[in-house]
Amino acid sequence: MKRIKRRKNKLKGLLTLFLLVTFITASLVYVKISNRKDSEQSTFNQTSDSIKTNNDSVKTNNASPSINDELLESILEAYPEKFKNVLDNKDKYDVQILYTQINRNTDGTITFTKNGFNLDKNNYFYPASSVKLAATIVALDKLNNLNIPGLNKYTSLEVLTGRESQSGEDEDFTAKNGKPSIAQYIKKVLVTSDNDAFNRLYEFIGQETLNETLWNKGYKDILIRQRIGDGPMTEENRYTNPFVFYDSNGKVIYEQPLVYNSTEYTSLVPKENTLKGRMHEEDGDIIDGPHDFSESNYVSIETLQELMKAVIFPQSVPENKRFNLKDDDIVFLKKYMSMLPRQCTYPSYDLPDNYAKFFMYGSTNKSIPSNIKIYNKIGNANGYLIDNAYINDTKNNIEFFLTAVIFSNEDGIFADSHFNEDKIGMPFLTELGNTIYKYERNGRVIKK
């Protein structure tokens, strides 16, 4: 009996050893396979891991905090050589800033402290490309709500036309497979702020669905009713293209017809606040009278930051304000928001690091170090510069939200030749980002 028992124990030990060796071998094979990724993916393995570690397991106190109006002004006043001109002319430059401190508490919760400067949702500024973040989020939300087998952000698609003013698309040579997809459009929007890619997202979502989705979720201070760039005018923007999605065998998965938004939107801010400047350019001529933005896109600084927060800390957002995004969608958005042009493949870009990173680096030619992750969406048009960012220094455990707008004009003439982004707006946003970063790094103590 003892011999049989020893034999059983010996067999049990051999079986355990066999299972252990099998597990280790399988793990090594998995690691080997996992490492067969293109340079773009491997660049972001560490980034994605840090995002998950920092955010996914953390409880959040999602109470809506009030805004402190004193701290930012004190910080800016401490550096008159950088900010005195803007402080003395804050209304002339249409400056608005929202800086949110992120506090990770010992009990695992996160609290947010909002600090504002000159915030006014009724003081119109042209948002330019900053509204594109909303479109990337709502496009993914719409795909997930459709809930059609085989339909996802990577599904190949064809953009058709239903109006003379519209253009179609059935090839995308910037994509690895040469086909357009929602994922490819989002990627190009977030890495280099591609206008055409945004317009395709706008057309896929539809004008009404885009705005109603945002409003129904509580993002009230936003109105996106125009394509961006040299697109059709106001009435034509109410029409959005037909789409066809198909699988790798060419089988149609989903068809979307031409859509018309019968609702005529009016400005969300008083008409007089959308009239900017004393003269403006029209058909190449400078004429008297302000530029009229009453039929243009609109968003408030607070709403921009709320949308960023909904991606970076989705659990911090009240349930009624959350979008229908999968975990993979969140990682995808974060990946391309923080990606630098030189890190991108399909397409590859020969652009500097600061091409779409205005805070901290906009006025410099420096490479952004690997420990500084800037998840952001910028805007730059009609003299307005906007940056909306979550900045994370993974080496020094620094993180904060910063959103700001500044108008770069001295004479009130709305014309390309009269905007001074390089002398006014870009230096301001660069110094603002660096100043808040240093304030955080100094333990939130103002040091001159």
Query: Which of 92, 94, 100 is closest to 72 using CA atoms?
Result: 100
C-beta of residue 370 within 8 angstroms of C-beta of residue 362 = no
CA–CA gap between residue 134 and residue 131 (Å, rounded): 6
Query: Which of 292, 257, 247, 21 is closest to 162 using CA atoms?
Result: 257
Whether the per-residue pLDDT at 47 is higher than 80: the answer is: no
Reported as a single tens digit per residue, the pLDDT across 193-235 is: 999 999 999 999 999 999 999 999 999 999 999 999 875 578 9
Q: What is the DSSP code (8-state) at residue 68?
A: E
Q: Which structural domain range is residue 260 located in? A: 40-441
CA–CA gap between residue 185 and residue 175 (Å, rounded): 9
For position 32, what pLDDT does the model report? Answer: 38
What average pLDDT does this structure show over 246-253?
Answer: 96
What average pLDDT does this structure show over 140-153?
Answer: 98
Q: Are strands 291-292 and 275-276 parallel, antiparallel or unpaired?
A: antiparallel
For position 58, what pLDDT does the model report? Answer: 52
Question: 417: pLDDT confidence band, cut at 50, 70 and 90?
Answer: confident
CATH number for 173: 3.40.710.10
Question: Has residue 14 been placed in a domain?
Answer: no
Question: Has residue 233 been placed in a domain?
Answer: yes
Question: Two tokens at 54?
Answer: 């920092």
Query: Which of 77, 84, 73, 70 is closest to 427 using CA atoms?
Result: 84
Whether the per-residue pLDDT at 285 is higher than 50: the answer is: yes
The position carrying tokens 């014309």 is 415
Question: Two tokens at 221?
Answer: 């201070």
Question: 259: pLDDT confidence band, cut at 50, 70 and 90?
Answer: very high
Question: 53: pLDDT confidence band, cut at 50, 70 and 90?
Answer: very low
What average pLDDT does this structure show over 305-323?
Answer: 97
Question: 45: pLDDT confidence band, cut at 50, 70 and 90?
Answer: very low
C-beta of residue 222 within 8 angstroms of C-beta of residue 214 = yes
Whether the per-residue pLDDT at 37 is higher than 80: the answer is: no
Whether the per-residue pLDDT at 34 is higher than 90: the answer is: no
State how many domains the chain has.
1
CA–CA gap between residue 232 and residue 236 (Å, rounded): 6
Q: What is the DSSP code (8-state) at residue 401?
A: E
Reported as a single tens digit per residue, the pLDDT across 115-135 is: 999 999 999 999 999 999 999
For position 59, what pLDDT does the model report? Answer: 57
Whether the per-residue pLDDT at 152 is higher than 60: the answer is: yes
Query: Which of 225, 244, 245, 243 is closest to 235 using CA atoms?
Result: 225
For position 15, what pLDDT does the model report? Answer: 45
For position 136, what pLDDT does the model report? Answer: 99
Question: Has residue 285 been placed in a domain?
Answer: yes
Residue 392: enclosing H or E segment and its boundaries? strand 384-393
CA–CA gap between residue 446 and residue 424 (Å, rounded): 24
| Tally of CB atoms within 10 A around 152 | 19
More confident residue, 77 or 1: 77
Reported as a single tens digit per residue, the pLDDT across 71-105 is: 999 999 999 999 999 999 999 999 999 999 999 99
Question: Has residue 446 been placed in a domain?
Answer: no
Question: Has residue 31 been placed in a domain?
Answer: no
CA–CA gap between residue 10 and residue 40 (Å, rounded): 49
Question: Two tokens at 13?
Answer: 């030990």
For position 26, what pLDDT does the model report? Answer: 45
Question: Has residue 4 been placed in a domain?
Answer: no
- As a residue count, the chain comes to 448
Question: Has residue 358 been placed in a domain?
Answer: yes
Question: Two tokens at 387?
Answer: 């940056």
Phi, psi dihedrals of residue 288, rounded to the nearest 5°: -65, 150
Question: Two tokens at 253?
Answer: 């998965």
Reported as a single tens digit per residue, the pLDDT across 330-382 is: 999 999 999 999 999 999 999 999 999 999 999 999 999 999 999 999 999 99
What average pLDDT does this structure show over 247-272?
Answer: 97
Whether the per-residue pLDDT at 54 is higher than 50: the answer is: no
Question: Has residue 448 been placed in a domain?
Answer: no
